[in-house]
Amino acid sequence: MLDTANYTPRLKAHFRSDIKAALKEEFGYKNDMQIPALDKIVLNIGCGAEAVRDSKKAKSAQEDLTKIAGQHAVTTKAKKSIAGFRVREEMPLGAKVTLRGDRMYEFLDRLINVAMPRIRDFRGVKPSFDGRGNFAMGIKEHIVFPEIDFDKVDEVWGMDIIITTTASTDAEAKALLKAFNMPFNA
């Protein structure tokens, strides 16, 4: 049985014991508070035209995202009506969830070590940083996560994953994610 009072996610323990010291030495930080760390991970599924035709699709995406994250996902709704797309204000269009703390580290561990190896023709992720130390990536099929039962899925969704760090530059953020074994392709 898991002792939840003393439980620390594997990647969080690895960050505290090994990664912090390596980053401090690599970038020459004088203070431990300067060392980049993970802040949050945001997961998003946008249903697009499917949700416009059938409102149950957004609910299905929300349920799948809740299973993947281990935390309740919220439904995203249209901010304004767009007649050309047949979208009305407040119409459900997808789902999102923000992970912090232990759940964030557990999700990153599952993403890197379980889900990514299950992606077909996977050659690593493109290093797509925003200039301020945040990383974004997309997955074409959400069924690569072990929490999703392939036989019970009514629709295969794409998924956005945004990893926000406290790093001030892209080089620092990339070094942090590489230390977590993020498989970059270039």
Q: Nearest 5°: phi and psi at 28? A: 70, 40
Compute the distance between CA of residue 55 and CA of residue 67 in angstroms, rounded to an integer.
20
First-to-last CA distance in the chain? 41
Surface-to-core class of residue 27, CB atoms within 10 Å of its CB (0-12 exposed, 13-18 middle, 19+ buried): middle
Note whether residue 154 is domain-resident: yes
* pLDDT recorded at residue 85: 62
Note whether residue 85 is domain-resident: no
Any idea what the CATH number is for the domain that residue 138 is in? Answer: 3.30.1440.10
- Give residue 109's domain range: 10-16+25-50+96-179
Compute the distance between CA of residue 94 and CA of residue 44 in angstroms, rounded to an integer.
8
Note whether residue 63 is domain-resident: no
CA 175 to each of CA 14, 36, 57: distance values in angstroms, whole numbers, following the listed order? 14, 9, 38
Q: What does the pLDDT profile of the chain (186 residues) look like in tens digits?
A: 556 677 888 999 999 999 999 999 999 989 989 999 999 999 998 877 666 667 777 788 888 899 999 899 888 777 777 666 666 676 777 889 999 999 999 999 999 988 888 888 888 888 888 888 899 999 888 888 888 887 787 778 889 999 999 999 999 999 999 999 888 886
Surface-to-core class of residue 70, CB atoms within 10 Å of its CB (0-12 exposed, 13-18 middle, 19+ buried): middle
Question: Structure pTM?
Answer: 0.87
Note whether residue 185 is domain-resident: no
* Long-range contacts formed by 128-132: CB under 8 A, 24+ apart: 129/170, 129/173, 129/174, 130/170, 131/170, 132/168, 132/170
Sheet strands (E) in 111-186: 135-139, 159-165
* pLDDT recorded at residue 51: 61
What is the greatest pairwise CA distance in the chain?
Answer: 56
Note whether residue 76 is domain-resident: no
* pLDDT recorded at residue 126: 86
Q: How many domains does the chain have?
A: 1
Helix axes 170-179, 20-27, angle to 10 degrees: 150
Tokens of 72: 């309740």
